[in-house]
Structure 1
Amino acid sequence: MALEDELSCPVCTELFSDPVLLSCGHSFCRQCINDHWTSSKSRNCPVCRQVSPQEPVSNLTLRNTCETYLKEKNKKKEKDGEHECPLHGEKIKLFCQTDEQTICTMCWEYEHRWHKTQPLEQAVRQRKGKLKTAIRPAENMLMSLRNGAAQDAKISKYNQSQAQRTEKRIREEFNKLQQFLKKEEESRITALNEEEKEKRGKMKRKIRSLSDRLREVEERMKDDDVTFLQNYDSIVNRAKKTLPDSELSPDALIDVQKHLGNLKYQVWEKMKDICPYYPVILNQNAAPPDVSMSNDLTSVTSCIHRQNEHNPLPLHSNHLVLGSVGYSSGVQTWDIEVGNSHQWSLGVCLGSEERSVVQMLNPANGFWGIRRDGDVYRFLNITAAFKLKTNPQVVRVKLEDCYDKKGGCWRNVSFSDATCNSPFAYFHLPAGMELFPFVIPEKRSGPLRIVPAKVTVTIEHVGEERSLPERHRDSPKVQWNVLFLALFFLLVVVCVFVMYHLIY
């Protein structure tokens, strides 16, 4: 215990924790000396009372000594207690392979004599060898990661590049929004200033007109007596016209309501023109390297030159580009502008976890769609071709749930000309599958672009007061009740009429 006393803090009497050395040469726990100085409001040493003007420095030698002492103390505890048999108090020297536990010689003699056993050192050596073999792949992977040769390292590098490009695009998009808001702010302030200028101009013209009339009356008052009296009535009438209005019109003030009323909503409505909503966003991580994708992830074009940094993940061999969101139920519609391109494919497919990168594009492998090849069109599952009278420039894809009278359910994906909403192809699919949109831009073809959807805003007037007859007239329940009563009354009349003729 003498050594432990030497390695104990004089303040807390515990083993030093993060020891620091004062200028006087005494050492304390860092927290202990800070607490002592805070309570005493002076920087004196708790042992010798000497003031320490400098900040205490870490006592690395003492800290290392304390850590070594703790390790040795813990080892001694393990050697003295944990390696002894809890039943017989003897040192554990054997390992029972049958029961997978360490035992002493007394345990072997009484309970494990017929079990398969081996010396403790041999069991440890064998299992350490197996453990090293098991972790060797992880060590090789770690070495590859550090050297930048593993697939994960390539993905990490690609992620850094992606993050930089995405951050740049985010800043560009917000700059556009900020420029729009700045321009809109300046436009509205200009309109306010112009109205104020117009009101000020009207006031100046009114003052100028009033001043001219007063000057005219004053000049007429300087006429000779005869002329003045002869023209007195006209001068009086002229003077009355110079009197200002007793009440100012509200039109003379700034129309604040026009400038501030629903200001944010009006700006938001104008922002819809520069903030389109796309029903489908393409998945850039599923795009092949020889496909160029727009910054807003809504348009793809086949390009000749491969991108400098291509996606390290395995991609489908047919160069399809997936939508970022799958649909498992409900009705979804999206339009794809194909323009005058003569080579393209589009449709829906199963999720990526259910697809192979080398599968053929057909329903058996989870692909449903159509392909244009020149002037003919083909389904992905058959080679037979068909033609259309008018080649659509915008193809509408509609995915919806369908039901029959017997309660059966399936999904239907249809393709139509969005210009006239004329369908020309469809598939029946099993229900319950998550389906992703996909497009395939062929070489020497134009871009395939997702068309933005029309966004409408409905304003609901809350708390609108209506009369009781109006509320009853608009209530579906009341309408059905009235119809039922009318039919019942008609049935009673018919019954009475029939009974009357039967009796008489």
Structure 2
Amino acid sequence: MAEKIAVVESFLSCHVCSETFRDPVSLSCNHNFCSSCLKKFWEQTENKNCPICKRKSSKEFPGINFGLKELADSFAGRQKPGSSEIEKQKEKDEVVCEKHPEIPYWFCEDEQRSLCPVCEFSLHQSRKVVPIEQAVSDLKDQLKSELKSLQDKRDKYKQVEETYSEMREHTKKQLLSTERQIRQQLPDNPERITLYPEVLGSEGFSSGKHSWEVEVGDHPRWNVGLVKESANKNEASASPEYGFWCLEHGDEEYMNGADQTFRVKKSLQRIRVQLDYDRGEVSFYHSEDMTHICTHRDTFTEKLFPYFCVAPAKDAKTTDIKICHSDISLSYSGM
């Protein structure tokens, strides 16, 4: 019995003052000391190394190990400050057996209390009882596991916080960059179209015969045809005078941009545009039966590009016009 008590006493003793722990703290190297002893030792040595293994502490100052404190206080018979006499007596009864004043070295895990090895052990054979050293070790392992879990959560939180900060800074930089791009004064590029919602074909023609079809549906306002490369798309009207050879639809009328209006048997849904560059002709047909609508005749001296323009659709079902790629036919001559 005396040997076992000596083992417990050694486990619960501070290596600095050689007394039973008071407010014990645990370092990362798993060595334990009285809080005041460790503080005094660090002040004297002017470093934060472990008094035993000399390993540097990972913390500014560790917190109280309450599990170890409770065991040390129980071993030393200390009472909590401010406890009533009844509470003090109760704590004493739980720690020290009146018949056998030896320090109990068994621990009932079901009741979470120490047991007298003579009086109570036989009464707890159906319960889970372990040596107090094992209980202390298990408690330390549990605390380490919980501490590890908290540290992992803290590290994950820091990682998420860092990622969020990086994303926030990146987003802010993107926002500022985009805002600068929006507000920057761009040079006057003749290819830019800003006055009307119009677009040019990517391929221009300077010879040969070419044709394609455009599906306009019931769109109320559109303009399709060809435009010369040097035409001013932002100021001029879409007429042959300014280098536009088109068929225009608006106010339920079909026009050629040269003050000529055409009548059709029924509303055009799909139009074929035909260019004969060498003969100087741009013709428009009703795709359904190839009924001729109109033809522009002129002398072409520069590259021509397909031209498409739409106005707001309002209540029409068709909100855009489509180039029918499957029906495009291109033929070249003189090449």
TM-score bracket, normalised by the shorter chain, equals: 0.3 to 0.5
- State the TM-score, normalized to the length of structure 1: 0.26
- State the TM-score, normalized to the length of structure 2: 0.39
Greater strand proportion: 2
Query: Greater relative contact order (Cα 8 A, min sep 6): structure 1 or 2?
Result: 2
